[in-house]
Amino acid sequence: QPQQKDYDDLCSLPDLNEKTLLENLRNRFKQEKIYTYVGSILIVINPFKFLPIYNPKYVKMYDNHQLGKLEPHIYAVADVAYHAMLQQRKNQCIVISGESGSGKTQSTNFLIHHLTA
């Protein structure tokens, strides 16, 4: 069976329904792509293992980039909020939501890591 194209933004799916959404997330997860956008919202699927996508190379890569220009990443969300705060001179908020054990604390740590870098 040929590998289906995966979409890094679910809004780009040609046919958006529950089945195609879940298939896309599953295909991306199998490729260790744990981040997927829905517009400006970031979906994270906890891999329950460390992935090598949180090093200084990634911090630098996502510095001052527009959301959606690079592969989805929590650093992109942190960077967009940071630059919006600087440009608009207004506080910004990032909402992190999920079930118990879904990785909210770890996601918060990654956000803080990027912001302090």
Task: Report domain extents, the chain.
Answer: 10-116
Half-sphere exposure of 94 (CA within 13 A, CB side): 24
pTM (two decimals): 0.91
Known binding residue 107? Answer is no
Q: What pLDDT does 5 receive? A: 84
Known binding residue 100? Answer is yes
Going by pLDDT thresholds of 50, 70 and 90, the confidence category of residue 3 is low
d(CA 46, CA 102): 6
Known binding residue 57? Answer is no
**In DSSP terms, which residues pair with 38 in a beta bridge?**
41
Known binding residue 68? Answer is no
Q: What pLDDT does 97 receive? A: 96
10-116: CATH topology: Kinesin (3.40.850)
